[in-house]
Amino acid sequence: MPFVIDAPAKINLTLEILSRRKDGYHTLRSLMVPIAFGDSLRVEPSERFAFSCDDAALANGENLAARAVRALALSQPHAVHLAKRTPTQAGLGGGSSDAAAILRAAMEGAFGMLGDRDYLAIARTLGSDVPFFLCGSGALVEGTGERVTAVGALPDWHLLIVKPPVAVSTRDAYARLDATSRPTRPRAGSASLRALEALQRGDFDALEALLTNDFHDPIASATPEVALAVEALLAAGATNALLCGSGSAVFSLAPEASTIAALAERLLVPEGYRQYRTWFAPTPGWRAA
């Protein structure tokens, strides 16, 4: 039978880029959370594999969702349609979440009995953010994205995302970061580890003080549209404004929906800047919310 699966976007509450390896990959430490906003995929059996998308530019075989289906090597072909809402090249992880949604559906038996599969290994071949989306919760992500420690239940916090009319290439963002000198980041005392503890306690003030992203300053300095989004959020009364991943979207976080609603009403940005009001995705956890 046809089924529909959700693919939530994410934000990075912290993003520490630690080093560049000889193979070109970067090690990192990041506290990531899924948000209640994102794509959805409709999947149904078909005579042959087919992939389509609301965004014609993404309707090709290199789309991560299409690659995820192929990686499963299903005996029964399926047709997949991606309803695309998460903006691309925004730092929100839309493509990775789409791929993970396909893998999660397979793990839960939506494609039938597939036998033993190493879903983490498959996820790693698709992208460094895909393993995070498999955990179904916020998580501390380390290594090159393969080490994922789930947070558990998330607090009911809210955010406003502003997407400028500009794309930021992840490759270019890393190249810009590699051109700067950065201090060593020992794990002991890491902002990400302290932010993880604050998030699990539901301590917003402590978490807000730890919000950090190594890409924020280089990308804002090099991209006027991103800098404008940051400035507009702060001018509207936001107490924080941080780049999403490697950009180009920017978010502001608050513990109350009313704070975000008021912020959105005061926000003044030029035409072409998109706004999304959302909240942390509800997740299962190992403790009471």
Render pLDDT for 148-193 as a digit per residue (tens, 0 to 9): 999 988 999 999 999 999 999 888 888 888 887 776 777 778 999 9
Q: Which of 10, 39, 98, 163 is catalytic?
A: 10
Note the pLDDT tens digit of each residue in 18-31: 877 877 788 899 99
Q: Is 10 a catalytic residue?
A: yes
Percent of the chain exceeding pLDDT 90 equals 78
Note the CATH architecture for domain 3-151: 2-Layer Sandwich (3.30)
Strand order in the sheet with 274-279: 242-243, 250-254, 158-163, 274-279
Q: What is the mean pLDDT of the chain?
A: 92
In the chain, what are the helix, strand and coil shares in percent, each to the nearest 5?
35, 30, 40
| Alpha-carbon span 185 to 189, nearest angstrom | 9
Residue found under tokens 């005996």: 75
Tokens of 101: 């949604």
How many angstroms from the chain centroid is the CA of residue 11? 5
The ranges assigned to domains in the chain are: 3-151, 158-279
Name every residue whose Cβ is closer than 8 Å to that of residue 122 and which is 6 or more positions away in sequence: 68, 71, 72, 103
Burial, 121: exposed, middle or buried (Cβ in 10 Å; 0-12, 13-18, 19+)? exposed
**pTM score, whole prediction:** 0.93
Note the pLDDT tens digit of each residue in 46-99: 999 999 999 999 998 899 999 999 999 999 999 999 999 999 989 999 999 999
- Say whether pLDDT at 287 is over 50: no
Residue found under tokens 């349609």: 81
Q: Which of 39, 98, 129, 214 is catalytic?
A: 129
Fold exhibited by the domain 158-279: Alpha-Beta Plaits (3.30.70)
| Alpha-carbon span 3 to 43, nearest angstrom | 5
Banded pLDDT at 284 (limits 50, 70, 90): low
Name every residue whose Cβ is closer than 8 Å to that of residue 111 and which is 6 or more positions away in sequence: 72, 74, 76, 78, 105
Q: Is 129 a catalytic residue?
A: yes
| Alpha-carbon span 18 to 182, nearest angstrom | 9
